[in-house]
Amino acid sequence: MTAQKVDLNYYVPSGEKYDSQIPTPKEVIGHEVGEWHVTHDKLVEYMKALAKASDRITLEDRGKTFEGRPLLLLTITSPNNHLRIDDIRERHIDGTNNPSLDVSEDPIIVYQGFSIHGNEPSGSNASLAVAYYLAASVSSATENLLENTVILFDPSFNPDGLQRFAYWANTNKSKNINPDPNDREYFEVWPRGRTNHYWFDMNRDWLPVQLPESRARIASFHKWLPNVLTDHHEMGSNSTFFFQPGIPSRTHPLTPQLNQDLTREIGAYHAKAMDKIGSQYYSEESYDDFYYGKGSTFPDINGGIGILFEQGSSRGHAQETSNGILTFPFTIRNQYTAAMSTLEAAKNMRVKILKYQQDFYKKARNESSKAKAIVFGDHKDAAKSFHLAEVLKRHQVAIHEVKSDFRANGKQFKKGYSYIVPMNQKNQRLVKAMFDVRKSFKDS
């Protein structure tokens, strides 16, 4: 059996006009999106080409992975917004600090991230088509979208894992694709591409922030405090497509109900878009919204809306499933569609989402806490306390070293070894999420 033959029009609207000065993915990487699994070097090459060709895109290299791959972040918005991008960012942050600031005319900030699990590659491969469309489309709708939206575009959350899996899928691809699930192509060898270089699952590192990929990402997050963050994943091959909200009873108690209501409203845009292309989907099942150390929930405790996408995985180029043959391009198209429906929802819901974030921090500051502060430290293990303080600082949590020795609750806290975290601060809810011990849950 041959692979599904597609070109760029399989993903982007074929009836629109595109700027001919913007290179297509094939013109740079040498193959159609979905024909091969894009390697990270080709992904980087294409994003650099877009940034060079388009005045809608700037590119930032935020550091390197353990294997030396660049951690790119594209900022995609209108040329007019790029001229005042620093002012837009500063005003956006001001809105989270000043509840009386009128944010109704401000752009919404959307962080789009792809394939934090490297062997869930449809996300990063879809980023090629999404970035092309945003750079090349000359429709009035796209121009209006970019005028009202600043998109922080992270084409590969996990460069090393993506590269590892692309190598496997491409080197085990046959000229004539065999969709039999028992074929070697669909049995990736250990350690697989899910993790980073040191085999760490980076979708558990949004709170601990121990890896270079996470540190770059979290620094960008707190620099901007995006209103919406999307996290594109894959799941079992016999599944369809999932978007949040997740299981209602498995939402963290510190997440406001309005967060879930807005997520559900955004979900209506995903449903409409999936219906349009004839793809099956579901929501409010299978996945939780509890642990804040994942990409889809971390924004929820930081005034934003996190959205998880899960696409049934082809695990290669085309595989037989209970729903028929699942092709790699099909999985990419679903991810592309969800990425674009997110942007449509964000633009249309811009004011209510901006005000939600503003109100989130206003209420957080006004919340009473049983404790005025949290104190931690251990003079017998200074490194442990230092590194915990380091984690808190990476999350912009206000923290101070104790000025003198004192005793509390039968424990001695010594100057130079101990820290105080005041609860009267902007990130009070984040502090609670990190330090509170919860033993009762809605569904247990």
Q: Please give, one letter per residue, the 3-state secondary structure of 21-60.
A: CCCCHHHHHCCCECCECCCHHHHHHHHHHHHHHCCCEEEE
Q: What is the dihedral of CA 63, 59, 129, 42, to 10 degrees?
A: -50
Total domains in the fold of the chain: 2
Domain shared by 168 and 198, yes or no: yes
The whole-number average pLDDT for the span 306-315 is 97
Domain enclosing residue 121, as ranges: 8-364
Q: Each residue of 90-134: pLDDT tens digit?
A: 999 999 999 999 999 999 999 999 999 999 999 999 999 999 999
- CATH of residue 200: 3.40.630.10
Last residue of a domain, one of 347, 364, 381: 364
Q: Which of 241, 229, 361, 396 is nearest to 307 (CA)?
A: 229
pLDDT score of 330? 98
Question: pLDDT averaged over the chain?
Answer: 96
Alpha-carbon separation of residue 442 from 238, 247, 259, 288, 434 (angstroms): 30, 11, 18, 12, 19
Residue that wins the pLDDT comparison between 444 and 21: 21
pLDDT score of 443? 73
d(CA 436, CA 364): 16
- The answer to the question of residue 433 being in a domain is no
Domain shared by 352 and 392, yes or no: no
pLDDT score of 1? 41
Structure tokens at 229: 């963050």
CB-based contacts of 76: which residues, under 8 Å, 6+ apart? Answer: 56, 57, 131, 134, 135, 146, 150, 151, 153
Domain shared by 166 and 274, yes or no: yes
User: What share of the chain has pLDDT > 90, as a percent?
Assistant: 93
CB-CB neighbours of 426 under 10 Å: 16
pTM: 0.96
Domain shared by 125 and 240, yes or no: yes
Phi, psi values for residue 290, rounded to 5°? -105, -60
d(CA 12, CA 33): 11
Q: Each residue of 237-269: pLDDT tens digit?
A: 999 999 999 999 999 999 999 999 999 999 999
Domain shared by 112 and 81, yes or no: yes
Last residue of a domain, one of 326, 343, 364: 364
The whole-number average pLDDT for the span 71-84 is 99
Q: Each residue of 326-342: pLDDT tens digit?
A: 999 999 999 999 999 99
d(CA 234, CA 229): 17
- The answer to the question of residue 253 being in a domain is yes
DSSP code of residue 11: T
Q: At 366, is the pLDDT very low, low, confident or very high (cuts 50, 70, 90)?
A: confident
Domain shared by 246 and 118, yes or no: yes
Domain shared by 271 and 379, yes or no: no
**Can you point out the beta strands (E) in 48-205?**
57-64, 70-76, 108-114, 149-154
- The answer to the question of residue 47 being in a domain is yes
The whole-number average pLDDT for the span 209-229 is 98
- The answer to the question of residue 444 being in a domain is no
Domain shared by 360 and 378, yes or no: no
Last residue of a domain, one of 337, 364, 391: 364
Phi, psi values for residue 436, rounded to 5°? -65, 145
Domain shared by 322 and 408, yes or no: no
- The answer to the question of residue 327 being in a domain is yes
DSSP code of residue 13: -
Domain shared by 404 and 346, yes or no: no
Domain shared by 163 and 303, yes or no: yes
- The answer to the question of residue 436 being in a domain is no
Domain shared by 185 and 88, yes or no: yes
